[in-house]
Chains A and B, each alone.
Chain A
Amino acid sequence: MGRFHRHDESEHGHGHGPDAPVGDHSGYATGTDRIEILERIFDENDHTADANRRDFDQADVLAVNLMSSPGAGKTALLRETLLRLRDRLRVGIIEGDIETSIDADRLTGLGAEIALLNTANGFGGECHLDAPMVRSALSRLPLSNLDLVIVENVGNLVCPAEFHVGEHNRAMVYAITEGEEKPLKYPVMFRSVDLVLVNKVDLLPHLEFSIEDFYRNLRNVNPRVEVIETSARNGAGLDLWCSWLTARHAELAAARARPASAARISPSVSPHG
């Protein structure tokens, strides 16, 4: 067997030149062979995310990945959003939920197409949506009849941040009841988003919550993030949030309508004219 096999440095790339430390001789005693790989672990997910993104693009659909912790008010906010958007954009929702259809039920009857994704398979349920899961839901949405797809991710501030699903933009709902320090505790999530909806602001007078401290923590982890203060309860900020969505959709539509070659052929042609 290969028990005394000489670890052949030349075959195995960097880090094992002739001057490699004497202590690094795992190949001798154990009869093992090292192979270098250097492969990104999220590659497979990201390839599927790219495929989702191409499907969205082909159908002229804006895709927004909406994330939050459990109980931040994501579904209540979405209800109000659908009511306000129904005359402006045709909306589809991909609803991630570990076990139930409760959230999806709360969103029915508001003019949106809804695809429910229960993630409770295998080891007691996933804590996030990944690109293959979203891909399986896409076939149940009439993409060509939609303008906007909102992926309502599983309530969780850790795992969803690591998985791209093919979205154009990422937004999160943060409730002021969660405390000022959340951006520092979950920097990966707060850093990954384009927009934070600071929700439940109707509760500000009742809480010992310093919104200035929250904003300082938020800017420290994500200096460029946009912010809209919202309340699903009294409607504050919801028109701004809907305008944000319609503006992103319009930007995307404008970028697609502009042929890539137009600028080269005639620089004087304005994209608006």
Chain B
Amino acid sequence: MHELSICRAITKLVECHADGSTVRIVRLRVGELRQIVPDTLAYCWGLVTEGSDLESAALEIERVPAAIRCAGCRHVHTLTEPILVCPECQGRDVEIVSGEEFLITSLDLMEV
């Protein structure tokens, strides 16, 4: 349940950027190689923000598929399981090109 402490980190960042405005939506980008469960994150967000200024803020989570590029044959492959082997040439010298993202991308603030 590290989602709880992650939500606390998110509230800090959001409060800093919102600067007193009411926040409607918090958008996150979460790569699939992250051990972060969106449903758990949303549940913890409810717990952490309950009774706070962020209570009415909804989380919107954009998932980013994991992809690797093979150093040998340059093939780019989107992963369906966490196996870091090139499916074209069986090479193991692969670089992760996406899937490790974990960002706040934007906020929707209520107009004052």
Residues of A that sit less than 8 Å from B by CB:
1-3, 5, 12, 26-27, 30-42, 44-45, 123, 126-128, 130, 158-159, 161-163, 184, 186-189, 191, 219-223
User: Is the Cβ of A30 less than 8 Å from the Cβ of B108?
Assistant: yes
B17 within 8 A of A: yes
Once the chains are docked, how many angstroms separate the CA of A184 from the CA of B93?
Answer: 18
CB distance from B92 to the nearest CB of A (A): 4
Residue of A41, A219, A220 touching B13 (CB-CB under 8 A)? A41
Chain A residues closer than 8 Å to B107, beta-carbon distance: 34-35, 37
A158 touches B35 (CB 8 A): yes
Residues of B within 8 A of A31 (CB): 110-111
Q: What 14 new A-B contacts, CB under 8 Å, besides A32-B108, A37-B105, A191-B84? A: A12-B106, A34-B109, A37-B17, A37-B104, A39-B103, A39-B104, A126-B5, A127-B1, A162-B36, A184-B83, A187-B82, A188-B33, A220-B83, A222-B84
Which residues of chain B are near A41, meaning CB under 8 Å? Answer: 6, 9-10, 13, 28, 102-104
Contact indicator A188/B103 (Cβ below 8 Å): no
Q: How far is A191 from B108 in the complex, measured between Cα atoms in Å?
A: 35
CB-CB < 8 A to B84: which residues of A? 191, 220-223
Kindly provide the distance from the CB of B84 to the nearest chain A CB, expressed in whole angstroms: 6
Chain B residue at minimal CB-CB distance from A184: B82
In the bound complex, what is the Cα–Cα distance between A33 and B17 (angstroms)?
13
B75 at the interface (CB under 8 A from A): no
- Closest chain B residue to A185, Cβ basis: B82
Q: Is the interface of A mostly helix, strand, loop or mixed?
A: mixed
- Give the chain A neighbours of B82 by CB distance below 8 A: 184, 187, 191, 220-221
B105 touches A36 (CB 8 A): yes
Within 8 A of A (CB), among B1-56: 1-2, 4-6, 9-10, 12-13, 17, 21, 24-25, 28, 33-36, 47
- In the complex, 30 of the A-B residue pairs with CB atoms within 8 angstroms, ordered by the A residue number, are A12-B106, A27-B108, A30-B24, A30-B110, A32-B108, A32-B110, A33-B110, A33-B111, A34-B109, A36-B105, A38-B103, A38-B105, A38-B106, A39-B17, A41-B6, A41-B9, A44-B9, A123-B4, A128-B2, A128-B5, A130-B5, A158-B2, A158-B35, A162-B6, A184-B82, A187-B82, A191-B84, A219-B92, A223-B84, A223-B92
CB distance from B86 to the nearest CB of A (A): 11
Q: Are A26 and B108 in contact (CB under 8 A)?
A: yes
Q: Which 10 A-B pairs have the closest CB atoms?
A: A2-B111, A159-B2, A187-B82, A223-B92, A188-B35, A32-B108, A31-B111, A220-B83, A37-B104, A36-B106
Closest chain A CB from B82 CB (angstroms): 4
Contact A32–B83 (Cβ < 8 Å): no
With a CB–CB cut-off of 8 A, which chain B residues contact A39?
A: 13, 17, 103-104
Asked if A188 contacts B34 (CB within 8 A), the reply is yes
Bound CA–CA A98/B105 (angstroms)? 33
Contacts of B106 in A (CB 8 A): 12, 34-38
Residue on B nearest A188 in the bound complex, by CB: B35
Asked if A35 contacts B33 (CB within 8 A), the reply is no
In the complex, A222→B82 CA distance in Å? 10
Contact A1 B111 (CB under 8 A): yes
